[in-house]
Structure 1
Amino acid sequence: MKNYIYLPIVCERGQYTTLTTSTLLNLFNQKHPYMRTFICSFLVIAMFVSSTSCNNTSGKKPGASEYSENSAESASHIIEYTNLIVDMSNKHNSYLEDVVNNTTKLEEALKHPNDHYRFITINKPFSAPDFHQFNQKVKIDEPVKELSSPDKKFFKDSITKYQGLFATMQATNNRMHEYITAEDYKDDKGSKGYAIIDTLRGQIAQLYSLKSAIVKKVEVVADASEQIILKDSPLKEYIIAMKKDMGNIRSFIDLLGSEEKYAGIEAKAKAQYDSLEKAQAEHAQINIDNAKKANEDHSFNTFYDDFHKLLLNARKRMRDAGEKGHFESYDLESLDSDYDSLVRDYNNFNS
């Protein structure tokens, strides 16, 4: 079974959010510094495939019924393909976030053209190339045959468009850094710089709008396939527990960043924290005999150790927010980083 069965991995950070270009640009144009930081650290981050999917056995999602009669092997092939999409999303996360942050830095630097330090701190982000194993049969731009014809067309068209948009955005980002390196802002009083910023933000808005649609489709397809694989899987209990916990943690972190004043959400945040603490204690005690047989006991234990660390971090930052009256951007970023660790733990469990 371990030789060919694949289980869905998930994207790091953030639930998927449908953002139109105009909506995202309006958010970018918010003048309040809290809102600007909130956008960079939460909304403009890759999407997370719904954490409750494998726990939904009472009904099928729209579009999922056509896969319900697949064999476990066919379902595994579909998930192997959708995992490539999630991998791509995860690899692009930090790059896109850095580009967004750099547009804000450049925007501020252009207001102070004689302050050289503001410009030299705008570092060009690194984007790791996509490497494929020499014997890898499944490719992201070639949807597997087990997908329905409409879904194959959707993924083929959408991934091609996304990759093209991403390459265009990278080229624009390169132009921005050439502009900074040549110090051309001294010649044009920042006009080209502001134009590049607007172009980059528009391209990133398009990327996230398209990525949202892709990940929603991944969720539907992977959900149906996952239910087939988990039906008789000895690892089902662990996977359901971890995915449910990740979904609740994500909602908790999102709540903490949803209001400028902590007092407005403090009671709800404490209630969610208590619920998470209870879940961590219960799920960490799940019998791991089946996980040991699959050599996944270490990954499972690591997940709940990291979950405990996240709770300790959250408790500290909630106390600080209560004293200051609000969460700082670095508080949310720290919790996002802890969440990313859980996603990696979960993906390691399924690798």
Structure 2
Amino acid sequence: MASTTFLTLPSGKRMPQLGLGTWLSPPGIVQGAIEFAIKNGYRHIDCAYLYENEQAIGEGFAKVLKECPVKRDELFITSKLWNAYHAPEDVKPACMESMKMLQLDYLDLYLMHSPMSIKNVKGELMPQKDGKILQTDVDYVDTWKAMEKLVDEGLVKSIGVANFNKCQLERLISAARIKPDVLQVERHPFQTQKTLVAFTKSKGMAMTAYSPLTSPESPFLSGLKNGMEEPVVKEIAKKHGKSPAQILIRFNIQCGIATIPKSQTPAHIIENTKVFDFCLTDEEMKKLESLHCGARAVPWDLLGLGTHKHYPFSKDE
């Protein structure tokens, strides 16, 4: 990677602003993507227990750290606590399981994947009965307090949350002993997260944008266009001599937001890093922001959680 920038977290830790996402990267392919990315300068890798590929990612980490002159402390590795492990007694075992699969003895960042808890049924990511996910009402503040202990024990350097709304963040921050360093949310021109961007900045928190390319491979794309086919994006890309993907990544980078585009293709992995040698004009940024329509690549209501008491999204977002 020719160049990159870093975001300083409230805890004082530094997070590379550009990372590699791993959602929808299957085992057997993700190892090679991880190895190639790290060999070509990536230092921020975003993972999650939900993605069911942490074992394979761990094999990639082990190989690249053995073969390349890259030290563990040069990497910034994120994983996420899945919804089934919100009960305080389940938090540490879940974290340890991810660390074991990733072949790491600490995580740089551990995120609560969402504020919504579901039943912990061994071997099932989304346990169901009569076609409905088995929800529970564990308070995410109690989950957070268990996550704070992970920091105390040195298992995790930083903690944060994903898919929280402003009210939930305010409540969590008011109750937290260790304030969240990062909020990870879906963000792209179709979902600009204006309220959350302003709120996190006011609190000094960092934001990470997932699905910055609108996740065209998402199985939930019922109401979202492929952002790389959007005429406004293609027009701006042509003007700058860049790809539509690079414009979508730059859209977040230029807002001071960390961005984790997923790719398995070597050429695209390298292409996605070439976003620090140009700037979008104010007019171009406004054009991209005007595309906001509230659409999501990951609509959690379609996952069967729209009725959860801690469901974070409103229809007007």
Global fold match (TM > 0.5): no
TM-score class normalised by the smaller sequence: under 0.3
Q: Radius of gyration: which is bigger?
A: 1
Could you state the TM-score of these two structures normalised by the residue count of structure 2? Answer: 0.26
More helix by share: 1
